[in-house]
């Protein structure tokens, strides 16, 4: 069974809904979720927020966060996930923001730096993915990691053991 199918089964059986807020993945997470027949039972929608204005206006990411931390940051994906849940009225959300490449990187945030957030129940788990494997592979890896993170949260509801992950209580 594919990740998106297993996620769909778990969401459906728990009567939970999902939304996405994507930047660097450009809707790729939503595309994987909606590739499953019947996904309209649990997937409410996604927002592709490439521009900071969209992050602010539709996902409620604060100007302060964008100015101080940047669009590619843990704080931004947390606010994106919360914003997706609020705007689309869902129980869970996946958010992605990063530098897929080939350009756009800096010394502080090189190409391949991508943040993922998964919100489920009252927690948000985040991961910073690093390493440049080329744009297409960076995006594919992000989509796969985001789905894996959601699946793990749906199965256990606990913080993941990976040292790169950070878990915090979700306050909408």
Query: Both tokens of residue 54?
Result: 């969209």
* ∠ CA 165-170-50, rounded to 5°: 70
75 vs 1 pLDDT, higher one:
75
| Burial class of 73 by CB neighbour count within 10 A (0 to 12, 13 to 18, 19+) | buried
- Domains defined along the chain, listed by start: 3-169 (3.90.950.20)
Q: Does pTM surpass 0.85?
A: yes
pLDDT digits over 59-117, tens only?
A: 999 999 999 999 999 999 999 999 999 999 999 999 999 999 999 999 999 999 999 99
In Å, what is the CA distance from 12 to each residue of 9, 43, 55? 5, 10, 28
State the Cα–Cα distance between residues 167 and 159, nearest whole angstrom. Answer: 6
């Amino acid at each position: 069974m594919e990740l998106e199918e297993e996620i769909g089964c778990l969401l459906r059986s728990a009567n939970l809904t999902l939304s996405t807020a994507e930047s660097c993945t450009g809707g790729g997470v939503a595309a994987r979720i909606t590739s499953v027949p019947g996904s309209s039972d649990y997937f409410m929608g996604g927002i592709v927020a490439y521009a900071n204005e969209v992050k602010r206006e539709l996902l409620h990411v604060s100007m302060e966060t964008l100015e101080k931390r940047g669009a590619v940051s843990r704080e931004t994906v947390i606010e994106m996930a919360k914003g997706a849940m609020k705007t689309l009225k869902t129980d869970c959300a996946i958010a992605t923001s990063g530098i897929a490449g080939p350009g756009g990187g800096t010394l502080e945030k090189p190409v391949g730096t991508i943040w993922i957030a998964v919100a489920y129940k009252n927690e948000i788990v985040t991961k910073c993915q690093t390493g440049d494997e080329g744009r297409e592979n960076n995006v594919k890896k992000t989509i796969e990691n985001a789905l894996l993170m959601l699946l793990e949260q749906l199965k256990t509801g606990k913080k993941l053991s990976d040292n790169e992950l950070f878990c915090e209580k979700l306050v909408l």
